Amino acid sequence: MRPRHFLPAAAAAAMLAAGPAISADTYPSKPVRIVIPFPPGATVDIVGRQLADKLGQQMGHNFIVENRPGGVGTIGAVAVQKSPPDGYTFLFSPSTLTTTPMTMKAPYDVVKDFTPVALVAKAPLAIAVNKNLPITDIKSLIAHAKANPGKLTFAIGSTGSAGHLSTELLRRASGIDYLIVPYKGSAPAYQDLLGGQIDAFIDPILGSSSYLKAGQLRVIGVTSKSRLPALPQVPAVAETLPGYEFYSWYGLWAPANLPADIARRLNAEVNKALAGEMRAKLEEQGLVLTPGSIDDFVRFQREDMAKSSKIITEGKIRVE
């Protein structure tokens, strides 16, 4: 008789506990959860829901959005961080995922605790000013600030946000000085901007678009590298200040140790979604799409984090 071969008991138990191996060929076999760490209605929520709907259509199972706001995005991030890396829980977040640990003690490490999957969109910011000011472009903004040193006021929606960092970057690039006034969100900042209590506000384009269309404020520049199809009449800041460029951006992450074939499958599906009808919708909202591989996303994230870290360190930006 041939000897029988048995798996060691411990190895067999481990295999049973791990469950069936995940295969990109059969994935997904059940609904997938996408956690958005901010409330419904924000730009990140609008984009995330569009992506979830499209992925669900493409992959044959629902991608369910779960809003987990709070803690400057950390509550939702930690919920994903602690989830199994099985391809059924993802985080869709703005770039605050990467900058929050630079401005406060955060309960996660971006690089160690998450698997980057795809860069979904970059969101240029709009520089909006009160329409009663004698400011029509970046040149006149600089001239007005220099003629009134220290008197110009810029709102920020939250400390350490992309709007805050781009406001700090503008101050350095232009050599002007102004007072930065923090608000708890964009809505009260816009109300004070319209009312004249604040002079200017840098925020994602979607935030100012309705006020711009209604003629309630003036947008004098966008922070993208070049002009946007959605706002062709508005110059890029770089046309006056060469090299100036800054974005909020949105990405998809999984918990650390997501199997590489699942990560590649999701990356391909996201890029497929962005090549279809989503592209026109997002570009109409002023977003910039630069789909690429996981390696492209990792490189972009690393370079953006280095740039943001420099601004935060030099500006001594901390969340109190």
pLDDT, one tens digit per residue, over 102-117 is 999 999 999 999 999 9
- C-beta of residue 144 within 8 angstroms of C-beta of residue 134: yes
| Segment 220-235 mean pLDDT | 95
| Segment 232-250 mean pLDDT | 96
143 pLDDT above the threshold of 70: yes
- C-beta of residue 247 within 8 angstroms of C-beta of residue 265: no
Query: How distant is the alpha carbon of residue 115 from its chain centre?
Result: 16
98 pLDDT above the threshold of 90: yes
Could you give the percent of the chain with pLDDT greater than 70?
93
Task: Domain 29-122+247-315: give its CATH code.
Answer: 3.40.190.150
- In the chain, which segments carry CATH 3.40.190.10? 124-239
The pLDDT of residue 297: 98
The pLDDT of residue 306: 96
- In the chain, which segments carry CATH 3.40.190.150? 29-122+247-315
The pLDDT of residue 289: 94
243-274 as b/e: b if 16+ CB within 10 A: ebbbbbbbbbbbbeebbeebbebbbbbbbebb
101 pLDDT above the threshold of 60: yes
The pLDDT of residue 22: 61
Name the CATH topology of 124-239.
D-Maltodextrin-Binding Protein; domain 2 (3.40.190)
21 pLDDT above the threshold of 70: no
**Mean pLDDT over the full length of the chain:** 91
Quick one: tokens of 107?
A: 């309960």
3 state DSSP class of 249: strand
| Segment 52-71 mean pLDDT | 96
Quick one: tokens of 92?
A: 């869709």
The pLDDT of residue 23: 66
| Segment 11-20 mean pLDDT | 40
Residue by residue, what is the 3-state secondary structure of 21-39?
A: CCCCCCCCCCCEEEEECCC
The pLDDT of residue 13: 40
Confidence of residue 207 (pLDDT cuts 50, 70, 90): confident
Rg of the Cα atoms in the chain: 22
Enumerate long-range contacts of 146-153, CB under 8 Å, 24 or more apart: 146/176, 149/177, 150/177, 150/178, 150/179, 151/178, 151/179, 152/176, 152/177, 152/178, 152/179, 152/199, 152/200, 153/178, 153/179, 153/180, 153/181, 153/198, 153/199, 153/200
| Segment 176-205 mean pLDDT | 93
| Segment 46-63 mean pLDDT | 96
Question: CA angle at residue 122 from 143 to 290, to 5 degrees?
Answer: 125
Cα of first residue to Cα of last residue in the chain, in angstroms, is 74
93 pLDDT above the threshold of 90: yes
